[in-house]
């Protein structure tokens, strides 16, 4: 898939190719993530990783908001391999989970394990520094795209929320809330669904820097340029060292456990829906 073939993204090379800026561009739906966007984003991240000239990757967004989360209108089951469906062509698989078309919880688990948790894990492990350039609202799945990045630069107007408890689950699939905010603030975010401001996010360590809206792009590029002055190998090793420390603290296994609870929440909501329909018939 070439850059010209992307329908949901724009990809640019800056600083003579040392910086790759990937920009979400489904403005009409506030950058809601359908399967095509996720497939294209995976392809763009992979291409940046494969390009030895690229030192740093920036993830930005068009329109008034960074991302409104998962596109809930794009929730039909897969009936085949994700690379073979519209919105999934050309995508490298995140893992070896299969059985997408199977009935019951098995199919739903395989689907979310691949397209949400699996892709986020793949991007989190990208062997190059990544910076999220965030403005406006980042809701639910929008947090996932930010949190897999190594650094986050936010506009003063940025707002963050995870209201997924309203859908009967414990939080988004990339469950990083306690690491990003600390346990008590994470519970407050989840229990209330309220927005967290950029200033609060920085105070909690979730955001590295908060800048005026008109300086967001220039500041992020300047930061990426300073990072790109370092050895690519040293940057890779530093990222690995920090990520491995977080893994040693239990991040990976705790996240998998939270993902299992997420699937339990889905199963419960589906059962409740069936009972409600049966009672009304």
Q: Per residue in 194-229, pLDDT tens?
A: 999 999 999 999 999 999 999 999 999 999 999 999
Q: Which two tokens stand for residue 1?
A: 């898939």
135 has a pLDDT exceeding 90: yes
Judge whether 30 and 63 are in contact, CB under 8 Å. Answer: yes
Residue 97 neighbours by CB under 8 Å, 6+ apart: 109, 110, 113, 114, 118
Residue with the larger pLDDT of the pair 145 and 109: 145
The distance in angstroms from the start CA to the end CA of the chain is 48
Please give the pLDDT value at position 126: 97
Computed over every residue of the chain, the mean pLDDT equals: 91
User: Beta strand pairing status for 159-161 and 196-197?
Assistant: antiparallel
86 has a pLDDT exceeding 50: no
Q: Length of the chain, please? A: 281
Q: Report the pLDDT averaged over residues 154-176.
A: 97
pLDDT tens digits for range 258-279: 999 999 998 898 888 877 877 8
Please give the pLDDT value at position 232: 98
94 has a pLDDT exceeding 70: no
pLDDT tens digits for range 7-31: 999 999 999 999 999 999 999 999 9
Domain count, the chain: 1
pLDDT tens digits for range 244-263: 999 999 999 999 999 999 99
87 has a pLDDT exceeding 50: no
CATH number of the domain bearing residue 143? 3.90.226.10
129 has a pLDDT exceeding 80: yes
Which domain range does residue 18 map to? 3-280
Range ranked top by mean pLDDT from 18-22, 43-47, 75-79: 18-22
Residue 170 sits at the vertex; the CA angle it makes with 175 and 127, to the nearest 5 degrees, is 10
Please give the pLDDT value at position 75: 65
Please give the pLDDT value at position 93: 61
127 has a pLDDT exceeding 90: yes
| CA-based nearest residue to 57, from 25, 95, 105, 23 | 23
């Amino acid at each position: 898939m070439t850059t010209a073939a992307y329908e949901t993204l724009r990809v640019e090379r800056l600083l003579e190719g040392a910086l790759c800026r990937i920009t979400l561009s489904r403005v009409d739906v506030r950058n809601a993530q359908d399967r095509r966007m996720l497939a294209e984003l995976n392809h763009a991240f992979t291409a940046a990783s494969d390009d030895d000239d690229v030192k740093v990757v920036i993830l930005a967004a068009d329109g008034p908001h960074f991302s409104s989360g998962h596109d809930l209108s794009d929730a039909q089951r897969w009936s085949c391999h994700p690379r073979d469906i519209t919105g999934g062509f050309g995508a490298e698989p995140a893992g070896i989970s299969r059985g997408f078309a199977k009935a019951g919880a098995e199919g739903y688990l395989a689907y979310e394990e691949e397209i949400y948790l699996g892709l986020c894990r793949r991007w989190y492990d990208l062997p190059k520094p990544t910076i999220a350039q965030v403005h406006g609202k980042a809701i639910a799945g929008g947090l996932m795209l930010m949190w897999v990045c190594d650094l986050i630069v936010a506009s003063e107007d940025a707002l963050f929320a995870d209201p997924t408890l309203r859908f009967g689950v414990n939080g988004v699939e990339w469950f990083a809330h306690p690491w990003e905010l600390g346990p008590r603030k994470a519970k407050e975010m989840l229990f209330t669904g309220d927005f967290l401001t950029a200033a609060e996010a920085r105070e909690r360590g979730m955001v590295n820097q908060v800048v005026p809206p008109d300086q967001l792009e220039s500041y992020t590029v300047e930061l990426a340029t300073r990072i790109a002055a370092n050895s690519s190998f040293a940057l890779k090793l530093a990222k690995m060292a920090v990520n491995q420390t977080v893994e040693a603290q239990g991040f990976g296994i705790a996240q998998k456990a939270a993902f299992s609870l997420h699937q339990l929440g889905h199963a419960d909501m589906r059962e409740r829906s069936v009972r409600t329909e049966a009672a009304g018939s």
